[in-house]
Amino acid sequence: MHLQKAKEILRIDNLSIKEKRAYETYIKNQRIHQSEITTVRTDVEYEYEKKLKEAKRQEEEAKQKLAKKMLKYGEPIEEIMKETGFTEDEIMKMKHL
């Protein structure tokens, strides 16, 4: 790996001034492009995580509404646990709200 890097440095050293400027511009543009790709990827990942959290929040809210409605209609705790995935303690706390 070090030998390849040394060869690349020698190759660049042997370029004319015009070629070196063109090479440096190319490298700079490649770095900018890679930075832009990284930024876009990060933004997409952030938006995905945000939407995922919102979907989970909505799902949790829907399960709570279902549990409260089932409590209101006198459904057995075991049935509410089965339908919502809540523990008995979680359901009992809802009952007292």
Our count of domains for the chain comes to 1
Specify the pLDDT at position 79.
96
C-alpha distance from residue 73 to each of 54, 59, 62, 63, 69 (Å): 29, 21, 17, 15, 6
In a domain, 75, yes or no: yes
Q: Residue 11: its pLDDT value, please?
A: 87
Report the pLDDT averaged over residues 58-78.
Answer: 95
Residue 8 lies in a domain: no
State the residue for tokens 């490649």.
Answer: 30
Q: What is the DSSP letter of 25?
A: H
Residue 10 is assigned to a structural domain of this protein: no
At 2-55, the pLDDT tens digits run 888 888 888 888 889 999 999 999 999 999 999 999 999 999 999 999 999 999
Give domain status of residue 9, yes or no.
Answer: no
For residue 96, what pLDDT band results from cuts at 50, 70 and 90? confident
Q: How far is CA 44 from CA 39, 40, 48, in A?
A: 9, 6, 6
The whole-angstrom separation of Cα 90 and Cα 85 is: 10
